[in-house]
């Protein structure tokens, strides 16, 4: 079997069996397509460890970040392990690939005061009733208020929101569901958008086809909470740009990632006294170790405050 053919089988497995998100599958596709291109699409059982190491070395020589290299190797290992399990390969040659050690980097977060200012500005912009401004205010409040991933917020349907209990049902990685709370400010912004903004955006939709946005494979735009300017389900890229534009200037665009509000929400929960297990459940982390990075963020902020304020620091 050619390597490219095996890759397509593996990607179908990730999507249909393991039910990974479209964004995750795209990342695997990109990594494995680069490998196939480097190798020249040989028969998969002809690929050896030296060729994999050469591919790894070429990327390293080009200045590839350690985090990217580690992800690419993880993609290759997953692919070859699947191929062996499926009987396509007799042996998994990727087992001896060594991932570079990644230094732990702390996520960028905004202070609570900074985010309060950002959200006040978004609220002010929405007061004239512009549907996009109403939507953007609700998006920012929900992202920060629930600690949700951008893709999870983009994928929200109307029946996922419980306005009485102030909870929202999110579908995370691996299509796992969780129900998390959100606050009164987010509910006010969401209601204003649903009453005054969403109907206007919905009316802008000119076609009646089902929404096939990669943000959510299920549902149509008629059920989506957050809509784009053309009336379809809003995409992750649009939300990333919104977060960058509104929060980026406050904490530094270069350091800003797509999860800026999620990172900030987690850190502020811990600062406010929430226990680590609760934060883990809200964020939907499979491992408590993933959540623990936020304890380091909080500790750094305590140290900074101590150095500035304590006479014996």
Q: Which of 173, 178, 223, 240 does the annotation list as catalytic?
A: 173
Please indicate whether residue 173 is annotated as part of the active site: yes
Give the integer Cα–Cα distance in Å for 96 and 73.
11
Q: Which of 198, 259, 263, 268 does the annotation list as catalytic?
A: 259
Give the integer Cα–Cα distance in Å for 227 and 154.
9
Structure tokens at 263: 């990172």
Give the integer Cα–Cα distance in Å for 139 and 131.
12
Please indicate whether residue 285 is annotated as part of the active site: yes
Please indicate whether residue 137 is annotated as part of the active site: no
Please indicate whether residue 77 is annotated as part of the active site: no
Please indicate whether residue 144 is annotated as part of the active site: no
Please indicate whether residue 38 is annotated as part of the active site: no
Q: Which of 149, 233, 263, 268 does the annotation list as catalytic?
A: 149
Structure tokens at 251: 């904490």
Encode burial over 156-165: b for 16+ CB neighbours within 10 A, e otherwise. Answer: bbeebbeeee
Eight-state DSSP code of residue 34: H
Q: Which of 135, 262, 263, 268 does the annotation list as catalytic?
A: 262
CA-nearest of 256, 258, 219 to 139 is 258
Is 302 in a helix, a strand, or coil?
helix
Structure tokens at 79: 């692919």
Q: Which residues are catalytic?
A: 149, 173, 259, 262, 285, 294
């Amino acid at each position: 079997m050619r390597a490219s053919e095996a890759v397509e089988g593996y990607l179908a497995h990730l999507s249909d069996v393991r039910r990974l998100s479209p964004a995750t599958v795209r990342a695997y596709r990109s990594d494995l397509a680069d490998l196939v291109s480097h190798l020249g699409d040989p028969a998969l059982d002809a690929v050896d460890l030296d060729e994999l190491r050469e591919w790894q070395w070429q990327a390293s020589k080009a200045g590839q970040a350690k985090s990217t290299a580690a992800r690419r190797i993880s993609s290759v290992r997953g692919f070859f392990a699947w191929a062996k399990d499926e009987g396509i390969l007799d042996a998994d040659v990727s087992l001896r690939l060594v991932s570079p050690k990644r230094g732990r980097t702390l996520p960028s977060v905004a202070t609570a005061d900074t985010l309060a200012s950002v959200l006040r500005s978004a609220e002010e912009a929405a007061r004239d009733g512009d549907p996009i401004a109403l939507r953007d205010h609700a998006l920012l409040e929900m992202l920060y208020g629930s600690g949700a991933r951008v893709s999870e917020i983009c994928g929200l349907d109307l029946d996922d929101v419980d306005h009485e209990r102030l909870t929202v049902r999110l579908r995370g990685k691996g299509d796992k569901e969780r129900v998390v709370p959100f606050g009164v400010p987010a509910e006010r912004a969401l209601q204003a958008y649903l009453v005054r903004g969403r109907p206007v955006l919905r009316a802008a939709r000119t076609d009646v086809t089902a929404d096939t946005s990669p943000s959510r494979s299920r549902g149509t735009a008629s059920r989506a909470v957050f809509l784009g300017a053309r009336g379809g389900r809003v995409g992750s890229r649009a939300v990333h740009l919104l977060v960058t534009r509104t929060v980026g200037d406050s904490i530094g665009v270069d350091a800003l990632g797509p999860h800026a509000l999620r990172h900030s929400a987690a850190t502020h929960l811990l600062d406010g006294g929430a226990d680590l297990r609760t934060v883990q459940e809200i964020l939907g982390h499979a491992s408590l170790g993933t959540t623990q990075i936020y304890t380091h963020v909080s500790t750094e902020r305590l140290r900074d405050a101590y150095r500035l304020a304590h006479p014996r620091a």
